[in-house]
Structure 1
Amino acid sequence: MHASALNGQMIVILGGSSGLGLATARLAIQEGARVYIGARNAEQLAQVLVDLGPNAAGATLEIGEEASVNAFFKGIDHMDHLVITAANNAPARLLEGSLEQLRISMDSRFWGAVMAIRAAVPLMPEHGSIVMTSGMVSLRPRPAMSVVAAAASAVESLARSLVSELAPRRINVINPGPMHTPLLSSVLDDAALQKLATQLPLGKLGTGEDYAQAALFALSNAYLNGSTIHLNGGAAWA
C-alpha cells in the first residue's frame, strides 16, 4: 500500500490548524483524502478550512479536556484514521514547578491521546489506524523537561501496549526532532533557528512536510503497527 490508498478516506487530525498537523492535512488532501480538523483557536481554524477547500471540515477542541474531546467526536459519524499532533508542553523543574504546571504536559499529550482514542476507535472500520506524536525529548531530555519527556515516552509505550487491544486497527507514533514550525519560531528567532540547524547532522531543521510524509506512510502502510518512527535527521544519535 502507499499514500494513494488514502483516496476518499476520512482522516481526523487533532492540532491540524498549524504546523505539523496542517502540513499533514494539506498532503492528505493532495492524496485524495478528506480531513476533519480539531484546533483550539476557532478563528485560525476557520481561516485554515477556507484555505484547504471543500475536502476539509473541523471543529474546536481542547485536547486536555474530556468534555471537549467527547463533544468534538460527537460531530463525526465515520472516520478512517486519526492523527494526533496537539499537545500543550509546559516545561517546569520537577522540584520547583507547581503540580498544576507539571500536569499540563501529561494531561494533554498522554491523557489527551487516551481520550481521543477512546472516542475515535468506535467510529473506525477494521482498516482504521492511529498516529500519535511524541518528541525527541523522550530520548534527550533537558532540565525542566522531565515531565514533558515522560509524557512523550508514555505515548510510545501506549502505542505498543494497545496493539492487541485495537487489532486489526493499527497504532503508531512519530517521534520528531527539531522541526521548523510556527511553534518553534515563536520561541526562537531566525538567528537562533539558523544556529540550531547548523548543529544538526544534516545541517537543517525538519519541516511540517517531512512530518506529513511520515504520517501518511504510517496511515497507509498496512503492516506498520506498534512502531515509533524517529524523524530527527539523526540528531538524537549525534
Structure 2
Amino acid sequence: MTQSQATNTASRPAGGRLAGQRVVVIGGTRGIGFAAAQAVAAEGGEVVVASRNPGHVARAVAALGPSASGHALDIGDRQAAAAFFAQVGPFDHLVTTAAQVLRKSLLEADLDEARASFEGKFWGQVHAARFGAPLIRPGGSIVLVSGISSRRGLGGMAFPSAINGAIEALSRSLAVSLAPIRVNTVSPGYIDTPGHGGAERSAVLKKVAAAIPAGRPGRPEEVAQAIVYLITNPFSTGTVLDIDGGHLAS
C-alpha cells in the first residue's frame, strides 16, 4: 500500500464502505486486479481473488490479509468457471480484470492466438457474468474491464479493439437483462503494469506520457478507485467509465 493509500484508509470511517460485503476479483493477483483487491480490502470488504497461477494466488492472499481467500482458475475454461462459482457460493460484487490480448496487426497476427485472446478476455468475462450473476446478493454489481482501444484506432491493436468493444456492448446489455444487478465497465488507457512488459515498455510509456493531457501513464490504484466507485454507487449501471488520463480527448 502506498503512503497516500494508507492516509486515505486511515481517514475513512471505521469499517469502510464495503464492510460486511464479499467481492470476487477475477485476475485479482497482479496489476489492476490486485490493486482492485487491495482497494476492496481497504474498504473493509472480504476479497476472493482468482487467477491462473497458483503461486500468484498464494502471494496475493498473503498480502491482502486474513479476510482474503484465493483460487487458481482459468476463467476462459467454461467448466472451470462454473465449478469455481459453485465453490465460492453467494457474494455481493464481481470484478473481472483477467486479460490476455494479442497486440499485433490483422495481417501479422496468428489467428489461433487471436482466437485465444477472445477466449481469455471476452469469453472469460462472459463466463464470469454467466456463472457469477445467479450468486450475487440483492444490491450487488458486476464490473467488467475493457480498454480505450474500443473507441480509438491504435496500430497493432485490431484484436484488443474488437474484444474491448464487445465487452462494452455486453455490459450495456447485461445492465438491462440482469437488473437489478448493476453492470458497469471500466475502460483504462495506458496503465503502468507488468502487462506492458518487454523491451519496448519504457519507450511506449514515455511516448504515451508525451501525448496525453495527464502527462504520464496511469497507475493500477487509479483504476482500482474507479472500480470501487462503480461497486459502491447504487445509481451507476450501464456505464463505461474511462480512466485514460485524457487519451480519448487528445
Task: Give per-residue Cα distances to partners, 1:111-162, cap 9 Å, x unaligned.
Answer: 1111111110111112110000000111223233212101100111011111
Checking the alignment, whether the CA contact within 8 Å between 1:92 and 1:101 is kept in structure 2 is: no
- TM-superposed deviation, 1:105: 2.2
- TM-superposed deviation, 1:38: 0.7
- TM-superposed deviation, 1:213: 0.5
- TM-superposed deviation, 1:15: 0.5
> Which residue type is aligned with residue 154 of structure 1?
A
Match of 2:103 in 1: 91
Match of 2:245 in 1: 233
The worse-fitting range, judged by mean Cα deviation, of 92-101 and 28-37 is 92-101
Task: Give per-residue Cα distances to partners, 1:171-227, cap 9 Å, x unaligned.
Answer: 000000011112124464445533432322111111111011100000000000000
Match of 2:9 in 1: none
Match of 1:130 in 2: 142
Checking the alignment, whether the CA contact within 8 Å between 1:42 and 1:60 is kept in structure 2 is: yes
Calculate the aligned-residue CA RMSD, in Å.
1.8
Mark the CA change 1:96 to 1:204 in structure 2 (over 3 Å): closer, same or farther. closer
Q: Distance in 2 between matches of 1:128 and 1:167?
A: 10
Match of 1:197 in 2: 209
Checking the alignment, whether the CA contact within 8 Å between 2:101 and 2:159 is kept in structure 1 is: no
Tell me if 1:160 matches 2:177: no
Tell me if 1:220 matches 2:232: yes
**Kindly, what percent of the aligned residue pairs are identical?**
37
Q: Given the two structures, how large is their TM-score scaled by the length of structure 1? A: 0.93
> Which residue type is aligned with residue 44 of structure 1?
H
Match of 2:78 in 1: 66
Q: Distance in 2 between matches of 1:191 and 1:105?
A: 24
> Which residue type is aligned with residue 234 of structure 1?
G
Mark the CA change 1:187 to 1:129 in structure 2 (over 3 Å): closer, same or farther. farther
Matches within 5 A, 1:98-177: 98-177=110-189
From 25, 32, 41, the counterpart of 1:20: 32
Pick 1 or 2: higher relative contact order, CA cutoff 8 A, min separation 6. Answer: 1
Q: Distance in 2 between matches of 1:187 and 1:155?
A: 29
Q: Distance in 1 between matches of 2:40 and 2:65?
A: 12
Q: Which runs of 4+ in 1 moved over 2 A?
A: 2-5, 91-99, 141-144, 185-196
Q: Distance in 2 between matches of 1:114 and 1:196?
A: 30
Match of 2:47 in 1: 35
Task: Give per-residue Cα distances to partners, 1:74-131, cap 9 Å, x unaligned.
Answer: 2211110000110110133324433312212221221111111111011111211000
Checking the alignment, whether the CA contact within 8 Å between 2:143 and 2:184 is kept in structure 1 is: yes
Q: Distance in 2 between matches of 1:172 and 1:235?
A: 20
Aligned residues: 237
